[in-house]
Structure 1
Amino acid sequence: MADETNSRRYSLRSPFFWAAPIVAVGFIMSLLAGLYLGGMLDPVNNLNKFPIALINQDEGDTLPNSDPPEHQNFGDEIEAGLLDGLDPEQFDIRQIGIAEARSELSKGNLYGTIVIPSDFTKRTMILAQGGVIPGDIEQPIITVQTNPRAGTVAANIVDQVGERALGQVNTTMGEKLTKMVTDELAATAPDLELSGATSILFENPIEVRTVQYDPLPDGTGFGLSAFYYALLIILAGFTGATIINVLVDGMLGFLPTEVGPLYIHRERADYTRFQTLLIKWAIITVMALIVSALYLWIGTALGMPVSNPLALWEFGALAITAVGVTSISVMAVFGNLGLLINLLVFIVLGLPSSGGTIPIEASPPLFGFLAEFEPMHQVYIGARAILFFGAQGDAGLIHAVWVTLLGLLVGLLVGGITTMVYDRRGLHRRILTKESADA
């Protein structure tokens, strides 16, 4: 009794006793805050190969009063200006046709497009002539298409980039039209000058229209439902594994169980580490099937549109199983330290690198590296493909399934091999007394 009392007093008097939990929690939370806030505060300045399509359909037109006839294509000039003005390190500008662009938008491979229509030069010429000849005129139009299904923030970035880049194009085109009309007036009607209304119109001659490609239906949380669904899947696997680990160990007598004032420590069951791991894996698999079905039922009951419920249930069950099995394996290998490792891998590093709130191409390079293997990013891509892109395989679903299966295999191998090694070496789960430790 005296030794026990002295040990307790020594623990309470030790600075490490008080500092260890505070330092551990402070470190984890500071890391989470630094990563998450650092990745979302300024996405525009973090752009890296942000995919946008530039579609130039302009057919050009013949300049009026030109002898010999001179062909002009303002669309080509705007295309060249945009390519020069947008940093190739920040943007992946894809010069493709409208059909290919729609296909890529429908798979989430593009965040937006800038479309120059086929009659752009013709409309611009009509606008220039309207500065000389009275009559009704319409501004030439350039359309910026955003892809809300690929992410709300990504759509906002496309809108901002289009506004900024085309603002400079508008200024340049206005100066060119002003000079063109002024020169024509000087040659044909030197007594006339540009009217004030025409001068104002030429300051912004191009009408930039921002439209959504395939807008999201109601009940998607402005495109965030895929991210939150992926987060729920990760939490079901990670948190579920933690709960199952504690409950099973308590019921098998490996850990004491406290229920209110009751302190229950059952007799230890005669199971090896590997056998105990198999039991936990089996419970996690059943839990994953049930929880995935519950998620699907709750989501649809709350009005979340789900066009492919079977695919969402199957993928959810697979992902929960993969995360849960791997979490249990890590705790079987590392003990209590495994809980901290799981927290780092699945939550601390997973949230900012998921791409669900800020696209990976608008995040610091570290998150692009983490997204290659972090489970939350793979789960988000799979959930997004099912919820927003019709469960198309090339919208990211096939990639998500294979990476999830690979993660499941790694979890099975790491947990299975390590616990069998522990068992063969006689490292059984038992209470280590001072006498046994000395022996």
Structure 2
Amino acid sequence: MGWIAPIAVLTLFMALLGTMYLAYVVDPEKNLHDFPIALVNQDEGDVTGPPDAQQRVNFGDQIAAAMKQGIPADKVDLRELGINEAELQMQNGKVYGAIIIPSDFSKRLGILGVGSVIPGDIEKPVITLQTNPRTGAFVTNIVQQVGERALTQVDKQVGEQLTQQVKIQLTPPDGGQAPELSGATRLALADPIDVVVEPFRQLPSGTGQGLTAFFYALLLLLAGLVGSMTIHTMIDAALGVVPTEYGPWFVHYPRTHLSRFKTLLLKWGVMVITSITVSTVFVLVAKALGMPMSNTFGLFLYGVLAITAVGVTGLAILAAIGSAGLLVNLILFIILGLPSSGGTVPIEATPHYFAWLAAFEPMHQVFLGVRAILYFDGSFEAGLARGVWMAVLGLAVGVVLGVLITRFYDRKGLHRGSSIVVEESGSAVVNKSED
């Protein structure tokens, strides 16, 4: 019956894997929530109407109010900001896009209304939809979808209002019949707004449209995870705790009697040295491939910190629960970590429980730190502060967990030479070897 256990474990493991990886990509638009977009209304308004009945209008205010009402508040966090604050939040990755209504919007809209019935050249008033490509390629697509859908509806409403105003202005003072608008005039008035989509701080070439930060963060995480598993196995083999197999042969070195605590310290030391070496390799490979890096040394240092934090925690988990720690580490760092990283699909376009996972999952913190270094000039406000402090916190948790567990095992006499032998009768016998 021993074959049932691996089937059951792998089935549950793959069910979790399938659920997590498919749930965050199946329907991002349906899962959209709290997606931050700035709304900048700079319109100063204008005076319209005949000289004896002039009135002040501000189409920018009307559009802002219509967008706040038309865009679902549970899906999009539409933030009314000044232009300076909006640019600051865009620079720090706090908002994913911005809808900007210029200061002369009402004036240009009035000129369009008059110019539509008077010969001459006119230009449509412009509303700018700015994307923030440094927050990710998928984020840009969502911003464009949300913005263009909302502005299309606004364009239609403003067109109807402008057409009505032009008809009123053309009505004779004596109350006679207004002249019929030409087809070209009706078309111009029905679609009065020109929506311009442009990026805010375009990414340079060699950034994979904003994906290099995600994949670099993934490399750091895998280095720590795979490093911890490799170091755990190879150090145990060198100490004679487990045999090493080479095809049909295996080598079992004489047992070296080190306490669990000292063994873990040895593995941690190897992990730190490995993190320095591997982080250096990643930086050199990135440079060789032409990946833009404005702060190479900062990326190297953060790589060392991230790999060490993941590796130390992974080794502590392996020291605490043994071989089962392999599955626990995979679940913690990979299965739960990748879909909640926000590196491909933003957290605000995934089911709500991914936002809960992103609050502590290592992959999200590492991604924020790497993205801030690569795309946001190493800005602490753009996520580097959180990436650093969460890595330090994770490292501290791993150290405390490893020290407490291994010291506890050593004091209880649960040395690594101890074993549990299952006899043919099914009973378990504890066999202790002397250290």
- 1:344 corresponds, among 328, 331, 336, to 331
Pick the structure with more helix per residue.
1
Which residue does the alignment assign to 1:151? 136
**2:239 touches 2:255 (CA, 8 Å); kept in 1?**
yes
1:36 aligns with 2:29: no
Question: Structure 1 residue 68: deviation in Å?
Answer: 4.2
Unpaired runs of at least 5, structure 2: none
**SS of 2:172 mapped into structure 1:** helix
The CA deviation string for residues 385-439 of structure 1, in whole angstroms up to 9 with x for no partner, is 0000000111110111011100000000001110011001100112524695289
TM-score if structure 1 supplies the norm length?
0.94
Cα distance in 1, alignment partners of residues 47 and 109 from structure 2: 11
Cα distance in 1, alignment partners of residues 51 and 375 from structure 2: 51
Which residue does the alignment assign to 1:319? 306
After superposition, where does 1:163-202 map in structure 2 within 5 Å?
163-187=148-172, 190=177, 192-202=179-189
Unpaired runs of at least 5, structure 1: 1-13
**What amino acid does structure 2 have at the position aligned with 1:36?**
Y
- 1:429 corresponds, among 416, 422, 431, to 416
Which residue does the alignment assign to 1:81? 66
The CA deviation string for residues 103-153 of structure 1, in whole angstroms up to 9 with x for no partner, is 111111110000000010011001111222121111111000000001111
**What amino acid does structure 2 have at the position aligned with 1:243?**
T
Between stretches 150-159 and 194-203, larger displacement belongs to: 194-203
1:284 aligns with 2:245: no
Which residue does the alignment assign to 1:371? 358
Cα distance in 2, alignment partners of residues 32 and 338 from structure 1: 17
Cα distance in 2, alignment partners of residues 24 and 176 from structure 1: 64
Question: Structure 1 residue 176: deviation in Å?
Answer: 0.6
**SS of 1:390 mapped into structure 2:** coil
The CA deviation string for residues 62-85 of structure 1, in whole angstroms up to 9 with x for no partner, is 003152431111000000000111
- 2:405 corresponds, among 397, 403, 418, to 418
- 1:265 corresponds, among 247, 252, 261, to 252
Cα distance in 1, alignment partners of residues 65 and 114 from structure 2: 25
**2:96 touches 2:131 (CA, 8 Å); kept in 1?**
yes
The CA deviation string for residues 230-268 of structure 1, in whole angstroms up to 9 with x for no partner, is 100100000111011111101110001001222111111
Question: Structure 1 residue 219: deviation in Å?
Answer: 0.5
Which residue does the alignment assign to 1:382? 369
**1:382 touches 1:401 (CA, 8 Å); kept in 2?**
yes
May I ask how many residue pairs the two structures share in their alignment?
Answer: 424
**SS of 2:245 mapped into structure 1:** strand
Give me the CA root mean square deviation.
1.5
**SS of 1:43 mapped into structure 2:** coil
Which residue does the alignment assign to 1:214? 201
**1:28 touches 1:348 (CA, 8 Å); kept in 2?**
no
The CA deviation string for residues 18-48 of structure 1, in whole angstroms up to 9 with x for no partner, is 2222222222222122112111222122122
Cα distance in 1, alignment partners of residues 110 and 136 from structure 2: 38
Which residue does the alignment assign to 1:119? 104
**What amino acid does structure 1 have at the position aligned with 2:410?**
D
Between stretches 41-50 and 333-342, larger displacement belongs to: 41-50
**2:271 touches 2:311 (CA, 8 Å); kept in 1?**
yes
Cα distance in 2, alignment partners of residues 396 and 431 from structure 1: 46
**2:340 touches 2:357 (CA, 8 Å); kept in 1?**
yes
Between stretches 128-137 and 407-416, larger displacement belongs to: 128-137
After superposition, where does 1:81-100 map in structure 2 within 5 Å?
81-100=66-85
Which residue does the alignment assign to 2:379? 392
Cα distance in 1, alignment partners of residues 217 and 430 from structure 2: 45
Using the aligned pairs only, state the percent identity.
Answer: 49
Which residue does the alignment assign to 2:48? 63
1:233 aligns with 2:205: no
**2:418 touches 2:431 (CA, 8 Å); kept in 1?**
no
- 1:108 corresponds, among 80, 83, 93, to 93
**2:49 touches 2:169 (CA, 8 Å); kept in 1?**
no
Which residue does the alignment assign to 2:231? 244
**1:107 touches 1:389 (CA, 8 Å); kept in 2?**
yes
**What amino acid does structure 1 have at the position aligned with 2:411?**
R
Cα distance in 2, alignment partners of residues 103 and 421 from structure 1: 50
Cα distance in 2, alignment partners of residues 403 and 314 from structure 1: 15
1:329 aligns with 2:350: no
Cα distance in 2, alignment partners of residues 33 and 431 from structure 1: 38
